[in-house]
Amino acid sequence: MKFNWEMPEKLVPFYQHELSKYQENLLKGDFMQAWPYLERAHILGQPYPREHSAVHFEMLLFGIKTRNIKEIFGQIPRLLVGGVKSWAGTIPVGNTGGANVRPWKPMPIPNDLQQIIRQASSN
């Protein structure tokens, strides 16, 4: 079991970029364009407790803003256990984090994010 504490410094700007693009589209009221950036931030932040929990909190707020009951109730248990699973290294890799997917289902990571993750974890 691998215990994760902090996101590697090389990965932080990519994670923050996805969150910025999410916020940018959210402020424009373009919810359909905003959501995929939140999913991508989830993939990048998933192995790290703070970032993982922060994305689930944003997903909860998104559910509230869009009045999506399924998303609201789907995010509550994810908020409660997501960070712990990250810390313990027991995440379903590639999972996009929304209530539209099972929380334990591994998913393919988009190629561009795979490359970012590889580069960030290299010395």
pTM: predicted TM-score of the whole model, two decimal places: 0.93
- Count H helices and E strands in the chain, helices first: 5, 0
* Dist CA 99 CA 66 (whole Å): 14
Instruction: Tell me the angle at which helices 49-65 and 31-45 cross, rounded to the nearest 10 degrees.
Output: 160
Q: Where are the domains of the chain?
A: 12-121
pLDDT at 122 over 80: no
Identify the DSSP state of 108.
P
- Which one is predicted more confidently, 54 or 103? 54
- State residue 3's pLDDT score: 61
* Dist CA 119 CA 28 (whole Å): 32
Tokens 């699973």 sit on residue: 85
Average pLDDT, the chain: 92
Q: Is 122 in contact with 114 (CB distance < 8 Å)?
A: no
pLDDT tens digits, 25-80? 999 999 999 999 999 999 999 999 999 999 999 999 999 999 999 999 999 999 99
Q: How many CA atoms lie within 13 A of 91 on its CB side?
A: 26
